[in-house]
A and B are shown apart, each in its own frame.
Chain A
Amino acid sequence: MKYSSQMVAKPYFIFALILLAGEILFGVLMGIQYMYGDFLFPLIPFNVLRMVHTNLLIVLILFGFMGATYYLIPEEAERELWSPKLAILTFWVFAAAGVATILGYLFVPYATLTEVTFNNLLPTMGREFLEQPLPTKVGIVLVVVSYIVNVTMTVLKGRRTVITTVLITGLIGLAVFFLFAFYVPDNLVMDKFFWWFTVHLWVEATWELIMGAILAFVLIKVTGVDREHIDKWLYLIIAMTMVSGILGTGHHFFYMGAPEYWLWIGSIASAVEPLPFFLMVLFAFTMARDSKIKHDNKIALTWAKGTAVMAFLGAGVWGFMHTLAPVNMFTHGTQLTAAHGHLSFYGAYIMIIFTMISYAMPILRGRLHGNCAKAQKLELSSFWMMNIGMLGLTLALTAAGIVQIMDLRMGTELKGFMESQESIQSIFMIRLGFGLLVFVGLITYFASFFVKEEA
């Protein structure tokens, strides 16, 4: 560790991993309730389980991004963080707000929660992924703004690199597009249209910039490849991201009340969306091949390559499967969307956080050459368990989606929704099995932190 202020990243990483455990646990509970409707009902109805599952995901990714940023910014800017105290303060504010929100979901009926959190003053709740009470949303804005100020001040007073520029652009985009979470028109179609400005332009545009910057940073560190070379790749990747991702928002506007031209624009632009992810695969593997150094932290490079591959599969391949308008007519609103959602979030955003933690955490713990071989071996087995688990559950959800489409939307003898769901119980059982494998993989990953260093 070159700068002592990089240490503020540590609590962010640890908390992100704790939230991830909660997220997967709630995923498993949902998997059970999918098959046994009486499980946990009426104690925790499905919508509450899901809200906890998805909100933990979003918050843990933000914690992961923040930890990654606070670690890499001082090294890139070649100076201490502008205000480590502010970074620690916002950690506690964000952690407290996050925990309070989750407890609110679990212990207060949602309708009551809307009443006691001033939702009547400015209604923003009850929309997918943006269910947070108004005070939490305002808290997120304050935390993100303080984070951006801290990062920008550090960079302005220090060295500017392509990585920091791309990262800050992504962060500002993240903040700007979150503001649409406060705009809830009475017209459902208008509401959905602008809801995507937050949801799509986060995950398929601005977050990709952040991800690209983190990946580039780790690759420089573990391969020692020339920065000029890395910068060119980074620009190329984010160029493709912007060109395809912004107009690619159109693939959400096919069948929700927006005009017909989105059928064409959304299909064409989003057909290009796999390209930046494919470039990431080439990027990671080319840099690994051209390695100038032999870094002892081998597992960090494994995660970096894995991130590129799994992001390409989840976001690229599984996204492309249903992104063309004539196909989407049949897949819109089925388990196929869930399949894509699971693998892309995991492959792109959870894995980039694993990559960063795998690289940075040993250094933050004083192990400058990475963890010992035994710990890395254990981490490698967790890598495979989680990847196979996620791929397996994605394949199961894909199969479930296909059966659902055949039952509900193809042919003349249509089944009803509940009847169709009952017919895919066995597929949901397989999904649950793979979900448990992911959970065991995560526990194994945690265990790798506690392997004693050889003397």
Chain B
Amino acid sequence: MTERITKSMAKNIYYGGGMFALLIFIALTFDTVQQIPKRSNQGQMTESVVAGKALWEKNNCVGCHTIVGEGAYFAPELMNVFQRRGAGDEASFKAYMQGWMAAQPLDIPDRRKMPQFHLTPAEVDNLSDFLIWTSKINANEWPPTIEG
């Protein structure tokens, strides 16, 4: 097969094909950036949600958990933890989170451990708000089940 292709043909496929793919990618990037605010309900991104995201990063939560399917696979997916542990009710989810974060690390031998992050109650609420907001992202029907 490769006998019929010359070096200059291969070179042209590289430059032509690469440029073509790059241009489409850039065009779609512009469109995606336009659509993301609506698909993620950016209007509901309160100060508390933004503070929660900063806490998520500051404590490297993604080093154990996945969120919207990305991260480490050591601990549960958290995009739909609001539905799973709070049954979609904000007040009960926030109460659950306060208790859960305070109880870490759980004293169960050999169970994987979550560190104690010493967050203030207000910070835990920020984190809850961030997770509630995240649960409403339009991710094309993902995750497939409540267990994530």
For A259, give the chain B residue with the smallest CB separation: B35
Tell me the number of A-to-B contacts counted with CB atoms below 8 Å.
228
7 closest pairs, A vs B, by CB?
Answer: A47-B63, A126-B57, A333-B69, A242-B18, A255-B142, A235-B10, A239-B14
**Cβ–Cβ < 8 Å partners of A250 in chain B:** 28
A408 to B77, CA, bound (A): 11
* B residues less than 8 Å from A228 (CB atoms): 7
Q: Contact check, B110 vs A47: say whether CB atoms are below 8 A apart.
A: no
A246 at the interface (CB under 8 A from B): yes
Question: Is A338 interfacial (CB-CB < 8 Å)?
Answer: yes
> Are B57 and A125 in contact (CB-based, < 8 A)?
yes
Instruction: Report the bound CA distance from A238 to B18 in whole Å.
Output: 9
Cβ–Cβ contact B39 & A189, under 8 A = yes
Instruction: Specify which chain A residues have a CB less than 8 angstroms from the CB of B14 in the assembled complex.
Output: 235-236, 238-239, 242
Q: Find A123's partner among B20, B35, B57, B59 (CB 8 Å cutoff).
A: B57
What are 28 sample pairs from A and B whose C-beta atoms fall under 8 A apart? A45-B115, A47-B72, A50-B64, A50-B72, A51-B63, A110-B63, A114-B57, A231-B7, A232-B5, A232-B6, A236-B2, A236-B5, A242-B14, A243-B13, A243-B21, A254-B142, A255-B141, A256-B69, A257-B40, A257-B68, A258-B36, A259-B31, A329-B144, A409-B145, A414-B146, A414-B147, A416-B147, A417-B147
- Residues from chain B with a CB closer than 8 A to the CB of A267 are none
In B8-65, the 8 Å CB interface with A consists of 10-11, 13-14, 17-18, 20-22, 24-25, 28, 31-33, 35-37, 39-40, 42, 45, 50, 53-54, 56-64
The reply to whether A259 and B148 form a contact with Cβ atoms under 8 Å apart is no
**Contact: B63 with A46, CB < 8 Å?**
yes
Instruction: Give Cα A34 to B59, complex, Å.
Output: 20
Task: Report the bound CA distance from A220 to B31 in whole Å.
Answer: 44
Taking Cβ atoms with an 8 Å cutoff, the residues of A that contact B are 33-38, 41-42, 45-48, 50-51, 110-111, 114, 119, 123, 125-128, 131, 184, 186-193, 228, 231-233, 235-236, 238-239, 242-243, 246-247, 249-250, 253-263, 265, 269, 282, 329-330, 332-335, 337-338, 407-409, 414-418, 421
Interface residues of B in 51-92 (CB under 8 A from A): 53-54, 56-64, 66-77
Interface centre among B11, B31, B59 (most CB of A within 10 A): B11
Which residues of A lie under 8 Å from residue B109 when comparing CB positions?
A: 38
Q: Is B120 at the interface (CB under 8 A from chain A)?
A: no
Shortest B134–chain A CB gap in Å is 6
